[in-house]
Amino acid sequence: MSKLNLSKGASRRSAYDLRKSRSSNAEPHTLSILVDNEAGVLARIVGLFAGRGFNIESLTVTEVDHTGHLSRITVVSTASDDVIQQIRAQVETVIPVHEIVDLTKDGHSIERELALFLVDEEQISRTQAQELAESFGARLIDTKTNHIIIEKSGTSDEIDELFDRLRSAGLKEISRTGVVGLSLTT
């Protein structure tokens, strides 16, 4: 086991990322996991990542089959392919899993995220906000108060780009759903 670097300011990332060296082949992976909708399943999956010192960067879960009581959990974490394979193997043995797909590696997939941006109307006019939103494929959804709410659905990179543009235009708050995805391979 590697020695932890616990000096003050050693890590600017998650508290779990305290090891000095990380595998150089670590990359973001999006896992789509279809599970029985029962108590404790999500906690066990999160525990597998935390137990290995890997941060979950995005997590979404909802019931997708009400009659079959199935939920889809989508997890984004940065790790090497080997670590992801180990986590996948353990998820399949510990949890009532019906399907687990690495959307990053297992064929074609589509990933999306939803974000709501709250912008101060004193910093940007409604016309400017409308033009900016349209240029990013977003839309204004609430303009009844002294704030403007912009809704954007797209890739995480697209949402990050809109965030960067709105930061200097009176952005007050942002809420993001996290990544959801589907495999397009049959």
In a shared domain, residues 48 and 66: yes
Check which CATH number belongs to the domain holding 155 and give it.
3.30.70.1150
In a shared domain, residues 89 and 114: no
Residues of the chain with pLDDT under 50: 1-22
- pLDDT value for 75: 93
- pLDDT value for 11: 40
- pLDDT value for 132: 92
Write out the residue range of the structural domain in which residue 35 sits. 27-102
In a shared domain, residues 159 and 178: yes
- pLDDT value for 131: 92
- pLDDT value for 142: 74
- pLDDT value for 33: 93
- pLDDT value for 168: 84
Instruction: Return d(Cα 163, Cα 161) in angstroms, integer.
Output: 5
Q: How many structural domains are present in the chain?
A: 2
- pLDDT value for 5: 40
Residue 96, phi then psi, degrees to nearest 5:
-70, 85
Domain contains 2: no
- pLDDT value for 95: 74
Q: Which single residue is written with the structure tokens 């797909």?
A: 101
In a shared domain, residues 91 and 131: no
In a shared domain, residues 91 and 45: yes
Q: Which three-class secondary structure state does DSSP give residue 107?
A: coil
pTM for the predicted model, two decimal places: 0.77
In a shared domain, residues 55 and 88: yes
- pLDDT value for 153: 96
